[in-house]
């Protein structure tokens, strides 16, 4: 306990009384010394109200404004009995009062109550601190677990996409088309989907799902798939089965990516006017991702060299596409495609 009084006689006598209660006591002759000694960690301050230079009210305010001591109990031992002095002391943060000359038994009871209250508060604050440390530790562990889970999910997704890409490549290699073709189809579809204000999740999904549009070619006989001349009607019917075969290969998955890939494989040869295959869907009954892939696949197929023909000039292909607006292609989608043609040509040049 710290006893603060500018009167040496009263300071010494008060200290002896407090020591008789069983407490360790230190003293300070003024407010400046008292504030310096508070670094020694006391359980209670007995504070004289009237002192030169810095009175007890200012010392109390300083104690309450310092984070390390703001909860330290203060008893003002004073001869100031006026109500206004008491109100001022309460505003300054004083917990209790003892009027000089004080009764030692009263001082003991008041001191004991405030010290017990402080110790209870210290225990509570210690428990809170330990709880905060435990929460912080567990939160750090949880962050680590979440980070590891996210990394595992990222690796799984990357492996998922890599498997899909390899499956798509297998189909394209069988058709003697380079890996750059599936890369372009994915990037074209992504750009067109973004221009159509599809959700970021769907834009990312179509980027990879569109690469699976021709995966069904794995099931088409090479004699038909690689035939250099025109296909017969019967051979064309077999060739068209790559749409349903692709859908069968990709069906039954709970992956949104494979589900979109299934829809694209099945619908990318449907036409806006209903004259496509395999189901003869028309207009908005064709899935949006299928309509997107129909546009970019047509553009890429004609503007790139193939083993059996040279590339058709870009402007000529665009004229062909304009002529088929509202017949082969979704007119709104096609208009959007033309609006981003510079991006499309940049991708074509890069890949």
User: pLDDT by residue (tens digit) across 235-261?
Assistant: 999 999 999 999 998 888 888 888 999
Would you say residue 145 has pLDDT above 60? yes
Strand ranges across the sheet with 26-28? 26-28, 2-4, 45-48, 74-78, 96-99
The confidence score (pLDDT) of residue 202 equals 94
User: Are 66 and 25 a contacting pair, CB within 8 Å?
Assistant: no
Q: Return the number of other C-beta atoms located less than 10 Å from residue 293's C-beta.
A: 29
| pLDDT confidence band for 335 (50 / 70 / 90) | very high
Percent of the chain at pLDDT exceeding 90: 48
CA–CA distance from 23 to each of 17, 18, 61, 112, 271 (Å)? 10, 6, 25, 10, 95
pLDDT higher for 10 or 286? 286
Phi-psi region of 48 (alpha: psi -120 to 50; beta: other; left: phi over 0): beta
53 alpha-carbon distance from chain centroid: 56
- Does residue 149 lie within any of the structural domains? no
Q: Identify the domain boundary among 124, 141, 164.
A: 124
Whether 266 and 181 share a structural domain = yes
Return the DSSP state at 220.
Answer: S
Quick check: 115 pLDDT over 80? yes
Structural domain of residue 103, as residue ranges? 2-124
Tally of domains in the chain:
2
pLDDT in tens, 30-83: 998 999 898 888 899 999 988 888 889 999 999 999 888 888 999 998 877 678
Task: Give residue 231's region: left, alpha or beta (phi > 0; psi -120 to 50).
Answer: beta
CATH number of the domain enclosing 203: 1.10.3210.10
| Mean pLDDT, residues 158-169 taken together | 65
Q: In the predicted model, what is the mean pLDDT of residues 332-339? A: 97
Q: Are residues 97 and 197 in the same domain?
A: no
Same domain membership, residue 207 and residue 105: no
CB atoms within 10 A of CB 166: 10
How far lies 211's CA from each of 15, 184, 261, 322, 342, in Å? 88, 9, 8, 24, 21
């Amino acid at each position: 306990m710290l006893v603060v009084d500018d009167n040496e006689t009263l300071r010494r006598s008060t200290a002896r009384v407090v020591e008789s209660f069983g407490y360790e006591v230190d003293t300070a002759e003024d407010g400046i010394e008292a504030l310096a000694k508070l670094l020694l960690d006391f359980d209670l301050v007995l504070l004289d109200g009237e002192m030169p230079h810095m009175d007890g009210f200012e010392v109390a305010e300083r104690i309450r404004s310092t984070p390390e001591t703001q909860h330290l109990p203060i008893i003002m031992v004073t001869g100031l009995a006026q109500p206004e002095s008491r109100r001022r002391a309460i505003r300054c943060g004083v917990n209790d009062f003892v009027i000089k000359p004080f009764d030692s038994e009263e001082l003991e009871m008041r001191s004991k109550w405030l010290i017990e209250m402080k110790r209870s508060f210290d225990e509570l604050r210690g428990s809170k601190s330990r709880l905060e440390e435990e929460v912080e530790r567990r939160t750090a562990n949880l962050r680590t677990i979440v980070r590891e889970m996210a990394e595992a999910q990222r690796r799984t997704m990357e492996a998922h996409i890599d498997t899909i890409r390899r499956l798509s490549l297998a189909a394209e290699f069988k058709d003697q088309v380079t890996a750059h073709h599936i890369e372009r189809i994915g990037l074209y579809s992504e750009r067109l989907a973004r221009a159509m204000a599809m959700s970021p999740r769907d834009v990312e999904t179509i980027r990879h799902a569109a690469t699976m549009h021709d995966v069904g070619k794995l099931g088409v006989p090479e004699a038909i798939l690689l035939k250099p001349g025109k296909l017969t009607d019967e051979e064309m019917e077999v060739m068209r089965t790559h749409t349903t075969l692709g859908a069968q290969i990709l069906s039954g998955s709970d992956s949104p990516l494979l589900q979109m890939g299934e829809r694209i494989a099945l619908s990318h040869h449907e036409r806006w006017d209903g004259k496509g295959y395999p189901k003869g869907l028309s207009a908005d009954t064709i899935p949006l991702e299928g309509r997107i892939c129909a546009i970019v696949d047509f553009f890429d197929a004609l503007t790139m060299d193939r083993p059996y023909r040279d590339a058709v000039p870009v402007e000529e292909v665009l004229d062909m596409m304009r002529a088929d607006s509202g017949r082969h292609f979704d007119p709104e989608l096609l208009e959007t495609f033309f609006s981003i043609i510079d991006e499309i040509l940049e991708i074509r040049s890069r890949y």
